[in-house]
Amino acid sequence: MQSNARIVIVGGGIMGASLLYHLALEGCTDTLLIEKDELTSGSTWHAAGQCPSITGSYNLAKIHAYSNRLYPTLEAKTGQYVSWHPCGGLRLATNEHELAWMKYIYGYSKSIGFDMEIVGLDAIKRLNPFLTTDGVIAAAWTTGDGHGDPSGLCNALAKGARDLGSTVVRHNRVLDIKQRGGEWEVITEQGTVIAEIVVNAAGCYAREVAAMVGGDAPITNMQHHYVVTHPLKAFIDRSEEIPVMRDSYTSGYFRQEQKSGLIGIYESTGLREAWAPEGFPDWEASNELFPDDLERIAPWLERAIERMPIFGEVGIRRVINGAIPHTPDGAPLLGPAANLRNFWMCCGTSFGIAQGGGCGKYLAQWMLHGDAEINMAEFDPRRFGKFADKAYVRDKVFLDYRLTFTTRLPGEEELAGRPQKTSPLYEKLRAQGCVHTETFGWERPKWFSPDGRVENYSYRRNNVFEIVRAEVAAVAERVGVLDLTGFAKYDISGAGAEGYLNRICANHVPRKVGGIALVHTLSPQGRILGEMTVTRLGQDRFYALSAAAAELRDLDLLSQGVRPDDAVQIDNVTETRGVLVISGPRSRELLSSLTDADLGNGAFRWLTAREIQVAGIPLRALRVSYVGELGWELHPEVDALPALYDAVWEAGRNFGIANYGLYAVNSMRMEKGYKAWSSELTNELDMLEADMARFIDFDKGDFIGKAATQARAPRPLKIVYAQIDASDTDVRGGEPVLAAERCIGVATSGAYGHRVHKSLAFACVPFEFAAPGTSFEVLLQGERRRATVLATPAYDPDNLRMRV
Ligand SMILES: Cc1cc2nc3c(=O)[nH]c(=O)nc-3n(C[C@H](O)[C@H](O)[C@H](O)COP(=O)(O)OP(=O)(O)OC[C@H]3O[C@@H](n4cnc5c(N)ncnc54)[C@H](O)[C@@H]3O)c2cc1C
């Protein structure tokens, strides 16, 4: 075996093979894929091979769509048989919620460009004449998907890569991986390879391979069954193949396998089985299958036979019970591992055949060019941290598996594995009706139920709408309080801190002590990586805040941006500082009653910060607002949070204080036209496309991404802010933007603005549609709704309410 390679990929399943192929297509063949057994001998070997176009995430759907474009062409490209069956897919809707979900996905099928129709019972029966349609109200018909032979697909990708010059070594287990200087030493049964970059594509073993470098891969390997029947006369007599069927009533899928039936079940109640949940799967395991447990899946098999009575005419010929790696949120792990330079993850996929093609393509782009062309934030392995311990991962994964065929509605969150990280105010707020939402393991207030009501989840405005309106009104008219302790927080200090920050951020960090600036980190290509609020606390002391979900990602950006000669220290203080946000026109009066500090406009201006005491508690007070009202963020030591909250609440009674949550925040930030990281501010766009040019300081000297931003030709795309003529449903992100019959862009996020009584959205559109006053349409729940580009924020465009 060779002793050097630029990139070593550990694992030769579909994920590793696809990455190898796409690295080669991008021009990098100094690569070595190492597989402990034969290619495909992990999960890939026993997959059912289905590749649906439909998935509940807009970005993941782009990954699926690419795989479905690639696979039908692979045989011709590589000469390797892949047995692609372009039979399409039919997903049944049995209630209005499932139909609403399909309408949402139908919307983004237009912006992504895969074929999808929502069809009625006649069409369903025509496409699958053997189906009993009891309880079915419609179906999603996707013509571009099908199924292939997973081994064939994996081998074709590997062959394609080898044909381009990449190398594959089989029957060679990676035993250990060590850091040596700036390189990796990959120790294998056949010797040691020195690599610049290592990729973990070890499927069910990803956790063990990550552990070799002191990292983690939050996966649990689930056992999943499918059965194959004896041949069926009905299929033998028919030349046409039925589509791959997916059905929540069956909690599974069924299709034709040659002339037999194939039925796969995701048992949705009762016991589920994980493979080696506590420890190592056996390294020797290969083509591993588990004993059948037909009893476990029997209730759903019976339902499959109810749906397809012909399946009951013959017996079962073959049972497959194999392992699938699952992550807590069901999305793959694609991207850099936390706190490790040049160690990447390409694993954690539970639909690896459907996703393998796209995962390989977009990860290869990210690895080689610094950015992928699609938004990768929701796949970044650093969305999980230490909170994702084995118990959390197992509980979440069991839930994810159970809900595979259940449609989750917007806002719907289950309690499995929670709470994992709480602020000291958690119980206090719950006692007041707080409904929390989970971000990066943190429980954060979403809304407050004043009367014990439970959210009636829906794609349409629901029974929480009026409560959010009341929370917004409290903030706009009086004063509101919000616990945002989950914010990522870093202390950055040292004589070189200012120069270092100015080098890694596009904007100038504050020049004066007490100043606050919004800054962005960019890739060398000028695309947006992160957004932070930086406060200058002293000559050599800065305090940076970023999104809760970006804690590890931004910590990597910050720490990996330090040069050996930088006199800089970075401390992650996320868990040692709390954040209490006080917003509203009466916030000054309230806080002034608790502090000797002068909070008047002369002494404490908007966008400045000071270290003061409130209720006798020392804290950092930042006069900033994401909701567009007068207000302060108070950042005390985390242990002081309960005392601070109690004092604020007590004093606030005189001012009509109310709790508010993140639903209300989203409504108000949309009214202010504030873009959000990972919705508008993504690796797909540069600062000019995101309409963030005012946050770049080209005059301050060099910074990462400067040259690329300056060199880019005028961009064809732009993020615009628009008012939508909506009825009872608002933009969530992913909806197509239409001009006549043409799909010209995509909505990135939105909400109803309760202070301005308008439905608002951001959208990414071609430049010629960006001028204020321009109209286009957004498809919302199947209805075309007029959108008009706004010139200024819908609420208080001159920021008068924050400056008072
Ligand atoms: C019954 C069943 C049906 C399924 N049906 C579908 C389906 O219809 N559609 C779909 O999209 N998905 C399906 N899946 C899921 C799919 O199989 C997996 O998501 C996918 O195969 C994962 O691919 P992978 O490359 O990540 O992992 P794997 O295929 O497991 O590949 C990982 C490889 O890494 C190797 N490896 C591990 N450690 C080392 C080491 N230390 N040194 C060297 N090599 C190492 C392993 O030997 C293995 O070959 C199904 C799964 C099962 C069990």
- Give every CB contact of residue 650 below 8 A, 6+ residues apart in sequence: none
CB neighbour list of residue 466: distance below 8 Å, 6 or more residues apart: none
Of 495, 525, 517, 737, the C-alpha closest to 609 is: 517
Query: From the DSSP assignment, how many helices (H) and strands (E) are in the chain?
Result: 19, 38
Q: Does residue 347 line the site of ligand 1, with CB under 6 A?
A: yes
Q: How far is CA 768 from the centre of its chain?
A: 30
Is pTM beyond 0.95? Reply is yes
Give the pLDDT confidence score for residue 1 in this predicted structure. Answer: 87
Q: Three-state SS for 727?
A: coil
Cα(226) to centroid(ligand 1), Å: 15
User: Which residue has the CA at smallest separation from atom 48 of ligand 1?
Assistant: 42
CB atoms near residue 214 (< 10 Å): 12
- What are the tokens at 513? 């002590």
β-pair partners for 262: 228, 255
Going from the C-alpha of 780 to that of each of 208, 514, 667, the distances in angstroms are 44, 44, 18
Cα dist from 6 to 9, 104, 129, whole Å: 10, 42, 53
> Pairing state of beta strands 4-10 and 31-34?
parallel
Report the nearest-CA residue for atom 30 of ligand 1.
Answer: 42
Nearest-CA residue for ligand 1 atom 14 is 47
Distance CA 247, CA 780 (A): 24
Q: Within 10 Å of residue 244's Cβ, how many Cβ atoms?
A: 26
Give 85's contacts (C-beta < 8 A, 6+ positions apart).
146, 147, 148, 241
Query: Which residue has the CA at smallest separation from atom 49 of ligand 1?
Result: 42
Rounded CA-CA distance 723/269 in Å is 44
Please give the Cα distance from 520 to 531 (Å, whole number). 4
Q: Could you read off the pLDDT of 501-519 as tens digits, one per residue? A: 999 999 999 999 999 999 9
How many residues does the structure list for the chain?
Answer: 804
Query: At 440, which amino acid appears?
Result: F
Q: What angle do CA 576, 482, 658 make, to 5 degrees?
A: 145
Closest C-alpha to ligand 1, atom 38: 202
Please tell me the predicted confidence (pLDDT) of residue 713: 79
Q: Give me the half-sphere count of Cα atoms (radius 13 Å) on the Cβ side of residue 610.
A: 13
What is the residue with the minimal CA distance to atom 50 of ligand 1?
Answer: 47
Give every CB contact of residue 594 below 8 A, 6+ residues apart in sequence.
614, 615, 647, 648, 651
288 in contact with ligand 1, CB cutoff 6 A: no
Handedness of CA 745, 749, 755, 757 (dihedral sign): positive
DSSP letter string over 558-607?
HHHT--TT---EEEE-TTTB--EEEESTTHHHHHHTT-SS--STTTS-TT
CB contact at 8 A, 733 and 666: no
Task: Indicate if ligand 1 lies below 6 Å from the C-beta of 226.
Answer: yes
Ligand 1 centroid, distance to 184 Cα (angstroms) = 25
d(CA 154, CA 16) in angstroms, rounded, equals 9
Of 308, 276, 496, 286, the closest CA to residue 393 belongs to 276
Give residue 343 CA to ligand 1 midpoint distance, Å.
20
Burial of 477 (0-12, 13-18, 19+ CB in 10 A): middle
Q: Of all helices (H) and strands (E), which one includes residue 6?
A: strand 4-10
Residue closest by Cα to atom 12 of ligand 1: 351
Cβ of residue 331 lying under 6 Å from some atom of ligand 1: no
Q: Is 467 in the pocket of ligand 1 (CB under 6 A)?
A: no
Residue 715 confidence (pLDDT):
76
Question: Which among 333, 353, 352, 335 is positioned nearest to 344, based on CA atoms?
Answer: 335
* Residue 501 near residue 554, CB atoms below 8 Å: no
CB atoms within 10 A of CB 539: 10
Q: Is the CB of 320 under 6 A from ligand 1?
A: yes
Question: Coil, helix or strand for 634?
Answer: strand
Which residue type sits at 785?
Answer: R
At 31 the three-state DSSP class reads: strand
Which has the closest alpha carbon to 398: 340, 488, 486, 327? 327
In this prediction, residue 513 carries a pLDDT of: 98
22, 44, 71, best to mutate for ligand 1 pocket (most atoms within 8 Å of CB): 44
The pLDDT of residue 776: 98
Å from CA of 308 to ligand 1 middle: 29
State if residue 349 touches ligand 1 by the CB under 6 angstroms criterion: yes
Tens digits of per-residue pLDDT, 148-177?
999 999 999 999 999 999 999 999 999 999
Give the residue among 154, 315, 302, 149 at the shortest CA–CA distance from 231: 315
What residues of the chain score a pLDDT lower than 50? none
Q: Which atom of ligand 1 is nearest to the CA of 50?
A: 8
Phi/psi at 800 (nearest 5 deg)?
-65, -35
